[in-house]
Amino acid sequence: MPHRAFFVALLAASALSLVGACAAVTEPSDTAPVVATVIVKPRNASNSDTVVRAAREALGRTAGVRYARPLAGDAHLLYLTAPAARDEVPALVERLRASNAFEYVERDSMMKIQ
């Protein structure tokens, strides 16, 4: 009988571990393809973790967010990654703007010499 109770407990723990592992895989990995690069300036000076967290909260599961680097003037460069698609980028930028977490949001692009 003691073996049976141990087996049931082990089976329950294994099932919970499997559910936990599946639930933890909600964000794209660091290797997800980049669909756009955006410049954001948070309303309050923030570190990279805070900026990424605010962007992820604004975008939910529609796009991955990966930190690229800090910029001048307390701005930051972020990569938007899969599961987002390139055609969704304008809407994602608008969602970041609407979140009120950022003072400034713009898609990064190459400047042209005029």
**Chain segment 40-93, per-residue pLDDT in tens:** 999 998 899 999 999 999 999 999 999 999 999 999 999 999 999 999 999 999
Evaluate whether residue 25 is within a structural domain: no
Evaluate whether residue 70 is within a structural domain: yes
**Chain segment 21-41, per-residue pLDDT in tens:** 444 444 445 789 999 999 999
Evaluate whether residue 11 is within a structural domain: no
Alpha-carbon distances of 51 from 27, 78, 108, rounded to whole Å: 16, 9, 16
Q: Number of C-alpha atoms within 13 angstroms, CB side, residue 86?
A: 3
Evaluate whether residue 114 is within a structural domain: no
CATH number at residue 62: 3.30.70
pLDDT at 91: 97
pLDDT at 17: 53
pLDDT at 33: 94
Full-model pTM: 0.71
pLDDT at 14: 54
Number of independent structural domains in the chain: 1
The domain containing residue 58 runs over which residues?
Answer: 34-107
CA pair distance 57, 53, nearest whole angstrom: 6
